[in-house]
């Protein structure tokens, strides 16, 4: 059966072998009443810590903006991992999806924001703007009809080409607006992903009263009224926390008919 195949090939962090509630596949989330879907408290700009190999639906993480990472140790409250499910075979079930580090190879974090370099390849610093300007001028794009040496044309073989003057007269309100009419960022390099990171998860802030159905819990038995807190690995376990506590409000099933529980945030 498919469930036996999945149980053999997928090991959830909250699976039976780990003393958890997941029967086969990875942990899942079925949203019932998640306020983030209305408040837009959805965060998806920080890469996962290099030490995180797998993030399953229903796990919790810290959105550690100060250190530029999603991890289990940052400041602030726990955020719910709820990624877009991406499976590319028609027969696959939702429980086959988790964000697995080895499946992602993100290299560029942003096309801008990287270090700037001069014409000689040396790294430029914001503390020396004159050096920056000098190097930039050495890489003149001939916007005003002349090159860096004052020539108004270039000869290639037997042909001579005039440089175009694409600048306008100075504007008394914006004196330097036309110095780069093409807005070419020739010295800006892209900002790369932090070393060792490959994936950027989507996480949701939850609020008191939020409800969702999940099996991503590291417990073998659960009953209505049980309270849950987030463990150090971001997985729910029995207990209470003065910052975030969930309560089992219904012993239920997941959409694929394996066991699950409906939980509500009460703290």
| Cα atoms found within 13 Å of the Cα of residue 238, Cβ hemisphere only | 11
- The pLDDT score that the predictor gives to residue 180 is 56
Contact by Cβ (8 Å): 34, 41 = no
Domain spans, the chain: 2-107+195-265, 128-187
CA distance 63 to 75: 8
Alpha-carbon span 62 to 50, nearest angstrom:
14
Q: Residue 129: its pLDDT value, please? A: 45
CA–centroid distance for 201 within its chain: 5
Residue 207 has what pLDDT? 98
Strand partners, 237: 229
- pLDDT, position 170: 63
Q: How far is CA 228 from the centre of its chain?
A: 27
* Residue 135: per-residue pLDDT: 38
Mean pLDDT in consecutive groups of 10 residues from the start of the chain, 267 residues: 90 96 98 97 97 98 97 97 96 96 90 66 55 39 62 79 65 63 56 92 98 98 98 98 98 96 98
**Cα–Cα distance for residue pair 261/23, rounded to 1 Å:** 13
**Contact at 8 Å (CB) between 60 and 80?**
yes
pLDDT at 132: 39
Spatial strand order in the sheet of 78-81: 42-43, 203-204, 78-81, 60-64, 69-71
- pTM equals 0.76
């Amino acid at each position: 059966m498919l469930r036996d195949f999945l149980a053999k090939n997928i090991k959830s962090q909250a699976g039976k072998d780990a003393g958890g509630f997941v029967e086969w596949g990875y942990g899942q989330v079925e949203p019932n009443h998640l306020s983030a879907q209305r408040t837009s408290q959805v965060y998806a700009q920080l890469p996962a810590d290099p030490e995180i190999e797998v993030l399953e639906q229903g796990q919790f993480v810290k959105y550690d903006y100060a250190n530029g990472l999603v991890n289990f140790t940052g400041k602030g409250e726990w955020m719910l991992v709820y990624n877009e499910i991406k499976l590319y075979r028609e027969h696959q079930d939702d429980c086959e999806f988790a964000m697995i580090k080895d499946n992602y190879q993100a290299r560029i974090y942003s096309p801008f924001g990287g270090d700037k370099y001069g014409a000689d390849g040396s790294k430029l610093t914001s503390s020396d703007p004159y050096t920056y300007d000098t190097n930039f001028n050495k890489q003149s794009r001939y916007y005003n009809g002349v090159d860096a040496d004052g020539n108004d044309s270039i000869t290639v073989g037997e042909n001579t080409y005039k440089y175009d003057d694409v600048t306008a007269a100075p504007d008394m309100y914006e004196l330097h607006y036309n110095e780069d009419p093409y807005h070419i960022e020739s010295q800006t390099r892209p900002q790369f992903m932090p070393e060792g990171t490959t994936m950027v998860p989507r996480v949701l802030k939850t609020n008191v009263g939020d409800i969702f159905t999940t099996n991503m819990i590291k417990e073998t038995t659960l009953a209505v009224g049980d309270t849950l807190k987030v463990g150090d690995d971001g997985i729910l376990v029995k207990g209470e926390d003065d910052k975030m506590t969930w309560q089992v409000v219904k012993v239920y099933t997941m959409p694929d008919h394996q066991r699950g529980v409906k939980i509500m945030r009460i703290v």
